[in-house]
Amino acid sequence: MNGYGWFIREYEEDPLSSGDWDRIHDEITRDIYTRFSLTEEEVYDPDWEPTPVVKRRIRETLSSLAEVPQFLTFKGITLTDEASAQFLDALHGDFVTAIGTLRRRSIGDYSPDKTPLKFPQFEHRKASGMTVWALFEAWVKEKKPRPQTVDRWRAVFLNLQGNFSDKDANNITEDDARQWAKGSITEDRSAQTVQEVWLNAAKTVFRRGKETKHLDHNPFETVKVTVPNKVRHRETKAFTSEEIQTILKATLQEPPARLSAHYRATRRWVPWICAYTGARAGEITQLRGSDVIERDGVWAIRLAPEAGTIKTGEARTAPLHAHLIEQGFIDFVKAVGTAPYSISRLLVGSLSQAIQPNRDSLNRLRLVITLQSGSVRSELMTLN
């Protein structure tokens, strides 16, 4: 129930006389309007902003005349000083309107009261019995997402649980969600990360909660944060033809003597396999000996989820380009053996230290080679 409705109800059964309401209205006029040389038109102007002194007097008068402490006790609400001030600021217009309504009724005017129609209907949400964290755990158990997704989203829901530890998941409002999203942007966490990772995680899990009837709404569904435009110093994140050749030429140079065997193998083969198969670096460095196969005379690699993380979560087979075979990749595989993980033992390592100036660029190495003209592919094949 809003303040207007509560005040009307309090005096419906035991109404005051019209003179009493005139007296209350006069008291407001004397204490607020006359004292500070204000007009009612000025007070009710939506753009009017009272001075701090006027605000304080309005709050004191309303708290007494509108019986605000009784209303809050009736609702079981305890407010901080700041919240109480905001409540009284919002109550002023409704209280004066209620006085006018009650005065009309005191003289027998019971015409329909349209004022309540302007207030939004209060929607009481039933408790789901689930905390935010319980909602996340239920989603993980049902959807069985990739471990990387669980690890990344865990931080999101630990943060949500910390912010809403005293709330049932179904009682989080859209305003709550919007304030949380805005407050999640920090010096260490960009607006883009909040929009693409944090809000996406919250929307996904709460959407599933609604679909499974644990929740009756998704407070994050329409929440967004503003992501500033980035200054881009390149036309594309992809490597240029010159950069591709620089990387691949470097793989053919004699590595430093201090470089261990697995770093040597990583440096020598991973960029070429990524370029010719379209696979991601992480998918290649987890290859097992048994994943290099020959079918009908065609050599290929099998990228399987059981070997490690696969972006799509689905196994696929990628044929090996003849140029890779000419360079001796199959001989390398045969030399290290076909036992599980015999290749990955030699291909693991810090790829970023060897060939990865930009994560997106490496992932797009395959795209550049695929989309460039045939002359580029020919140049690559002549590098060694």
Q: Is the pLDDT of residue 182 over 90?
A: yes
Q: Which two tokens stand for residue 41?
A: 């038109």
Q: Is the pLDDT of residue 368 over 50?
A: no
pLDDT range class, residue 266, cuts 50, 70, 90: confident
Q: What is the DSSP letter of 145?
A: -
Q: Is the pLDDT of residue 4 over 60?
A: yes
pTM across the whole model: 0.48
pLDDT range class, residue 374, cuts 50, 70, 90: very low
| C-alpha 224 chain-centroid distance | 8
Per DSSP, what are the bridge partners of residue 294? 299
**How big, in percent rounded to 5, are the helix, strand and coil portions of the chain?**
60, 5, 35
For residue 191, the SS3 value is: helix
Cα Rg for the chain, rounded, in angstroms?
Answer: 34
Mean pLDDT in residue range 115-121 = 67
Q: Is the pLDDT of residue 66 over 70?
A: no
Maximum Cα–Cα distance across the chain:
105
pLDDT given for residue 134 in this prediction = 93
- For residues 8 and 106, what is the distance between their CA atoms, to the nearest angstrom? 12
pLDDT given for residue 111 in this prediction = 83
Residue pLDDT, tens place only, 98-113: 777 877 877 778 888 8
Mean pLDDT in residue range 148-174 = 92
CA-angle at 280, arms to 335 and 148, nearest 5°: 110
More confident of the two residues 99 and 139? 139
pLDDT range class, residue 133, cuts 50, 70, 90: very high
Determine phi and psi for 292, rounding to 5 degrees: -95, 110
Q: Report yes or no: 286 and 309 within 8 Å, Cβ to Cβ.
A: yes
Domain ranges of the chain: 3-118, 132-211, 241-381
Nearest C-alpha neighbor of 241 from the set 382, 373, 357, 352? 373
Nearest C-alpha neighbor of 304 from the set 323, 277, 286? 286
Residue with tokens 């890779």: 324
